[in-house]
Amino acid sequence: MSRVIVALDVDTTTRAAELVATIGDAVAAYKVGKQVFVAEGPAAVAAVTDAGYRVFLDLKFHDIPNTVAGAVRSATRLGAWMLTVHAAGGAAMMRAAVDAAGDESARLGVARPRIVGVTVLTSLDARALESVGMGASVPDQVRRLATLARDAGLDGVVASPLEIGLIREACGDGFDIVTPGIRPAGSAADDQARTLSPADAVRAGATFLVVGRPITGAADPRQAAEAISHDAR
């Protein structure tokens, strides 16, 4: 089974649906993020779920616990398979998200969406962290937030490929590590500061790999998805 999640970082549900139809079951799921969700709303999720595929709803909720709980309940009703919150929102916020997902999924009689906490964005490096007042190194900050997320009951975290090993060591097996910043050989880094190849990320212990432009911008997106999925076995 593929570990790849395709990032549908596009402007319209029409384009998202075209990519889903082209790539199909060559990947594990499709990520709906802020770009298309802000433009099109829940229809962007339906473009994936109506085709029979899983949605990773990547809206990175970060607010007071009650507000995040409400957003998670809404995401559960939309049929999200996995969703993100910012681990920096704190333990109470993350626990509220887990409780809301459990309560709403039980009410609906559906599977509870997996909830993963964003640690340090892959576009940030040590200098960027320092500029916003975070004195810890990137590895130390990721470790701290990953442990906090695990203790709050989250299913896993989102982190760059370079922090996979330390998260696996700190949080053990059975804890999802969702990894953006995946770049096959020859691909541009774009706006990612901390990247790794698909094979190296899996060897380090990644559960799922989020890949956007190397697939969606390819001449043949399905072929690109199949190749990356093969490398990430």
Angstrom distance (rounded) from CA 198 to CA 6:
13
Annotated catalytic residues are 60
Q: In 79-90, which positions are buried (b, 16+ CB within 10 angstroms) versus exposed (e)?
A: bbbbbbbbbbbe
At 121, give phi and psi (nearest 5°): -55, 145
Q: How far is CA 148 from CA 22, 55, 95, 142, 177, in A?
A: 39, 25, 10, 10, 14
The amino acid present at 129, given as its one-letter code, is L
Are 75 and 83 in contact by the 8 Å Cβ rule? The answer is yes
Would you give the end-to-end CA distance of the chain in angstroms? 8
Are 157 and 170 in contact by the 8 Å Cβ rule? The answer is no
